[in-house]
Amino acid sequence: MTDYKEVVSSVRNSFASGKTKNVQFRIQQLKNLLRFYNENAEKILDAVYKDLRKPNLEAKLVELEVTKQDVEQLLNNVAEWAKPEKVSKTIVTMMEEPIIVKDPYGVVLVIGSWNYPVQLTMMPAAAAIAAGNCVIIKPSEVSSNTAKLLEEYLPKYLDQECYRVVCGGAQETQELLKQKFDYIFYTGAATVGRIVREASNKFLTPCTLELGGKSPTYIDGTADMDITVRRILWGKFTNLGQTCIAPDYILCTKEVEKKFISKAREVLKEWYGEKPQDSPCLGRIINERHFKRVSRLLESGKVAFGGSTDEKDLWIEPTILVDVEATDPVMQEEIFGPILPIVNVDNAFEAIKFINAGEKPLALYVFSKSRDVTDLFLQETSSGGVCVNDTIMHFSVDELPFGGVGNSGIGAYHGKFSFDTFTHKKSTLIRKFDAIGEHLGSGRYPPYSEQKVNRLLFLIKKRNLSFLKYMPYIATFAAGAATALFIIYINKGKQPALVTPVPQTWNEFAYRYLSKLRHAVRL
Ligand code: NAD
């Protein structure tokens, strides 16, 4: 087994050298990463295909392009994001410099998952690099082809003293977790999330846990069924259901269910043909263990569509189950496969009660034209994220933090949130040796007196200074008005010759356009 102690200690020495604190160095590494994607695009798509039979165009989009765009965004912003951030001032800090200094944590461990093996490993790794950390990347051993590719090719592009790829399974990861890290970013199941959390506790290491869970989908009678069906089926069956925010199950009335099933049959035939197993648009279950686990869940309720399996091909047909009860096996765990059970509820209140009886989900989906209904779900449920009238798409909005809550995770990333995740925000106050500041603050020095305390209390009292944000506008207006009045005043009694159609001097301007005002203020 690799000597992880040695690996972490050599990377720690590199961090101590200060190399990664240089923003230009980070930019160069991100450029190298981009080159890695561009020069090895075919190899990457091929590895992902071998791991998951992920359709090439789907993989191109969600593994390659998304990941490249992420690096582009970091490249475009890293210099700005890494700068110390000015914060708003108060009466007390008026003469000071309160700033947030962006410190990298140090040595970061990124543990990836197999279902989107490039994206979910490399997006956090890239953000950790941008934030100035040294990074140890541990891809999932389950997606072994992608793991091997990252292990072989990344060192050719990234600085080997600062960034290392280590491969291995549960045992190796647990050995790795015995080392001290400064931040751990883990993506995967909650059971392992607990192991990671426990290991990080030993060193009080902060960590992000990107976990999963059962993401519910509620459909009401007002939803546009044509669009609803397409959006739900796409979210469910892309990557053959192995997506952390795939809609796990549907909650709706029997009436809505009938409409949903009828449309779903049509759409699934349109997308995947008569024999979905031959469709080039569907992947495969990652391995035998998961095939057996997911197949067992088919025994719940009644099959309304699909249901066939082929163990040798690791194939499970996109399947819709009806007459499913909350106590059925398919409702006891995250499905993480192409099975979509429908549980009947009478209304939104019942659906909310059902959702709140379980763990907090990673995503929650509501399909309804009624704003009251969607607001009800927003107010009465708790989940990592919500997408109304679509599935998965909130994941693609970089301005939204992506992460779980409760059992579905701790922390969030994407866009600037990713950079912030790997950055310690060092609160910094820079003061001067000025006499006024010293006098104002001298009330804190002994000997204490009532008068000194009162003076301090006056200074530190929290005031609502939100009106200060209008000060620049008020000041601009006041300056303009003062100038106008001054011009009017100095022109009092004078009448410039108006020979040109457009005023040529300030005097002409004042005479023409401000004479009414002059009259009004009787100057
Ligand atoms: P996995 O088997 O790839 O495990 C994830 C990582 O944990 C791997 O790197 C693996 O080596 C390591 N690991 C596994 N067992 C371990 C152990 N006993 N001790 C230490 N490390 C161990 O992936 P998985 O857990 O099967 O992933 C599926 C789960 O991940 C689902 O619940 C899914 O919802 C969730 N997920 C969440 C997100 C998200 O962004 N929130 C993304 C993808 C997957």
The pLDDT tens digits of the residues spanning 344-363 come to 999 999 999 999 999 999 99
pLDDT at 440: 85
Cα 149 to middle of ligand 1, angstroms: 19
Q: Is residue 56 helix, strand or coil?
A: helix
**pLDDT band at residue 134 under the 50/70/90 scheme:** very high
| 113 dihedral zone (left: phi>0; alpha: psi -120 to 50; beta) | beta
Residues 121 and 129 sit within 8 Å (Cβ to Cβ)? no
Question: Would you call 210 a catalytic residue per the annotation?
Answer: yes
Peptide bond into 447 cis (omega under 30): yes
Output the pLDDT for position 318: 98
Q: Fill in the amino acid letter for 438.
A: E
**What is the DSSP-derived secondary structure letter of residue 64?**
I
Q: 């069956």: which residue's tokens?
A: 237
| Residue 310's pLDDT band (cuts 50, 70, 90) | very high
| Residue 466: predicted pLDDT | 73
Q: Is the model's pTM score more than 0.85?
A: yes
Q: Mean pLDDT across the chain, nearest whole number? A: 93
Catalytic residue from among 162, 207, 244, 387: 244
Q: What is the pLDDT of residue 133?
A: 98
Asked if 162 is an active-site residue, the reply is: no
Task: State whether the beta carbon of 409 lies less than 6 angstroms from ligand 1.
Answer: yes
Q: Concatenate the DSSP letters of all residues of 77-110 into one string.
A: HHHHHTSPEE----TTTTTSEEEEEEEE-SEEEE
Query: What pLDDT is recorded for position 106?
Result: 98
Using the predicted structure, report yes or no on whether residue 499 has a pLDDT greater than 60: no
Of the residues 2, 110, 113, 236, which should be mutated to test ligand 1's pocket, given the most ligand atoms within 8 Å of the CB? 113
| Burial annotation 361-377 (CB, 10 A radius, 16+ → b, else e) | bbbbbbbbeeeebbebb
d(CA 186, ligand 1 centre) in Å: 8
Task: Note the pLDDT of residue 424.
Answer: 98
Mean pLDDT value of segment 302-309? 96
CA of 437 to the centre of ligand 1 (A): 54
User: How far is ligand 1, taken at its centre, from the CA of residue 122, in Å?
Assistant: 15
Contact yes or no for 207/36 (Cβ under 8 A)? no
Q: Is the CB of 140 under 6 A from ligand 1?
A: yes
**What's the number of CA atoms in the CB half-sphere (13 Å) around residue 369?**
6
What 3-state class would DSSP assign to 507?
A: helix
CA separation for the pair 158, 257 (Å, rounded): 51
Reported as a single tens digit per residue, the pLDDT across 197-232 is 999 999 999 999 999 999 999 999 999 999 999 999
